[in-house]
Chains A and B, each alone.
Chain A
Amino acid sequence: MLIIYGKVVIFLESNIKQTSELGYKKGFLDGIPICLGYIPIALAFGISASKLGMNIWIAQLMNVAVYSGSGEFAVLNLIEGGEVSIITFALTLLVINCRYLLLSISMAQRLDTSMGFLQRVCFGIFNTDEIFAVAVQNPGKLKAPYLFGLATLPFLGWFSGSIVGCLFTNILPKSVGDALGIILYAMIIALVIPSAKKSKQVLFIIINSILISVLLECNPIITSHITSGWIIIICAMVSATLGAVFFPVHNSDNNTQEEAKVQ
Chain B
Amino acid sequence: MIDYGVLLKAIAAMAVVMFCLRVLPLIFCKKPIKNRFIQSFLFYIPYAVLTSMAIPEAFHSTASVPSAIAGVVIACILAYFERDLLTVCLSATAAVFIADQIMNFIK
The reply to whether B93 and A182 form a contact with Cβ atoms under 8 Å apart is: yes
Known interface pairs A129-B49, A129-B53. Does A183 touch B44 (Cβ–Cβ under 8 Å)? no
Chain A CB within 10 A, most for which of B22, B88, B96:
B22
A235 to B68, CA, bound (A): 22
**Taking the complex as formed, is A67 at the interface, i.e. its CB lies under 8 A from any CB of chain B?**
yes
Tally inter-chain residue pairs, CB-CB below 8 A: 321
Nearest Cβ distance between residue B73 and chain A, in whole angstroms?
10
**Taking the complex as formed, is A106 at the interface, i.e. its CB lies under 8 A from any CB of chain B?**
yes
Q: Count B-side interface residues using an 8 Å CB cutoff.
A: 83
Instruction: Name A185's closest neighbour in chain B (CB-CB).
Output: B58
Nearest Cβ distance between residue B63 and chain A, in whole angstroms?
4
B75-107: contact bitstring with A at CB < 8 Å (1 yes, 0 no)? 110111011111111111110110011000000
Picked from A55, A68, A87, A214, the residue with its CB within 8 Å of the CB of B56 is A214
A97 to B90, CA, bound (A): 27
Picked from B10, B39, B52, B88, the residue with its CB within 8 Å of the CB of A235 is B52
A29 to B14, CA, bound (A): 30
A217 to B59, CA, bound (A): 12
**Taking the complex as formed, is A172 at the interface, i.e. its CB lies under 8 A from any CB of chain B?**
no
A10 to B1, CA, bound (A): 50
Known interface pairs A65-B11, A97-B18, A197-B80. Does A37 touch B89 (Cβ–Cβ under 8 Å)? yes
The reply to whether A240 and B41 form a contact with Cβ atoms under 8 Å apart is: yes
**Taking the complex as formed, is A232 at the interface, i.e. its CB lies under 8 A from any CB of chain B?**
yes
Chain A residues with Cβ below 8 Å from B26 are 104, 107-108, 111, 120-121, 123-124, 127
Instruction: Name B18's closest neighbour in chain A (CB-CB).
Output: A66
Known interface pairs A89-B13, A94-B21. Does A186 touch B75 (Cβ–Cβ under 8 Å)? yes
Known interface pairs A103-B46, A243-B44, A249-B43. Does A108 touch B52 (Cβ–Cβ under 8 Å)? no
The reply to whether A206 and B18 form a contact with Cβ atoms under 8 Å apart is: no
The reply to whether B89 and A105 form a contact with Cβ atoms under 8 Å apart is: no
Residues of A contacting B: mostly? helix
**Taking the complex as formed, is A54 at the interface, i.e. its CB lies under 8 A from any CB of chain B?**
yes
Report the stretch among A19-27, A153-161, A252-260 that lies at the interface. A252-260
**Taking the complex as formed, is A188 at the interface, i.e. its CB lies under 8 A from any CB of chain B?**
yes
Known interface pairs A89-B13, A176-B97. Does A188 touch B4 (Cβ–Cβ under 8 Å)? no
Nearest Cβ distance between residue A219 and chain B, in whole angstroms?
11
Known interface pairs A103-B46, A254-B39. Does A213 touch B30 (Cβ–Cβ under 8 Å)? no
Interface residue ranges, A against B (CB under 8 Å): 5, 9, 12-13, 16, 30, 32-33, 36-37, 52-55, 58, 61-62, 65-68, 71, 75, 79, 84, 86-87, 89-90, 93-94, 97-109, 111, 113, 117, 120-121, 123-125, 127, 129, 132-134, 136, 174-176, 178-197, 201-202, 205-206, 208-210, 212-214, 217-218, 228, 231-232, 235-237, 239-241, 243-245, 247-249, 252, 254-255, 259-260
15 examples of A-B residue contacts, CB within 8 angstroms? A86-B13, A97-B21, A100-B18, A104-B26, A111-B30, A125-B22, A181-B61, A182-B75, A185-B71, A189-B54, A190-B79, A213-B55, A240-B42, A243-B48, A260-B43
Q: Which 8 A-B pairs have the closest CB atoms?
A: A124-B23, A186-B92, A185-B58, A104-B25, A108-B29, A244-B40, A193-B79, A190-B88
Interface residue ranges, B against A (CB under 8 Å): 1-4, 6-19, 21-30, 32-34, 36-58, 61-63, 67-68, 71-72, 75-76, 78-80, 82-94, 96-97, 100-101
